[in-house]
Amino acid sequence: MNYRAGKIFRVKSRREISMIFESGNRKSDRVLTLFGVAAGGDITRCAVAVSTKHGNAVFRNRLKRLCREAFRLSRHDLPTGWDFVMLPRIGAEIDLPKLQDSLVTLAKKLAGQQ
């Protein structure tokens, strides 16, 4: 299994992220809020948004790294052709296994596979 995390798997531009927030669907659980839109390609891309309400820059950057790692490790379980934006919930106990489970479950719900 290829677990590389190249630039092709990232939603990078502000315009694309805004489009996902505006026109995408949303699913939530106790750990994560996931916005998603069907992009139609053969790859799944992801972006991470962390609010300043989470804490200082060190904590926010750690959350972003955890979210990106969860996406990298779970990418083969996610539906293909989707663009996602991950928002970790404020005040939630967040660790890598919880993020991975939440991401896969919510992505499948958004894609209508569950």
- pLDDT tens profile 46-99: 999 999 999 999 999 999 999 999 999 999 999 999 999 999 999 888 999 999
In the block, residue with structure tokens 């596979």: 113
pLDDT for the residue 90? 92
Mean residue pLDDT across the chain? 90
Query: Is residue 114 one of the residues assigned to a domain?
Result: no
| Total domains present in the chain | 1
Report the CATH number at residue 92: 3.30.230.10
More confident residue, 64 or 5: 64
Query: Is residue 113 one of the residues assigned to a domain?
Result: no
Query: Is residue 79 one of the residues assigned to a domain?
Result: yes
Domain that holds residue 99: 7-108
Task: Look up residue 59 and give its amino acid.
Answer: F
Judge whether residue 112 has pLDDT over 90: no
pLDDT for the residue 92? 86
Residue 40's contacts (CB-CB under 8 Å, 6 or more residues apart) are 81
pLDDT for the residue 100? 96
Query: Is residue 77 one of the residues assigned to a domain?
Result: yes
CA-nearest of 36, 50, 61 to 90 is: 50
Query: Is residue 2 one of the residues assigned to a domain?
Result: no
Query: Is residue 1 one of the residues assigned to a domain?
Result: no
CA-nearest of 52, 113, 48 to 81 is: 113
Work out whether strand 82-88 and strand 45-48 pair parallel, antiparallel, or are unpaired. parallel
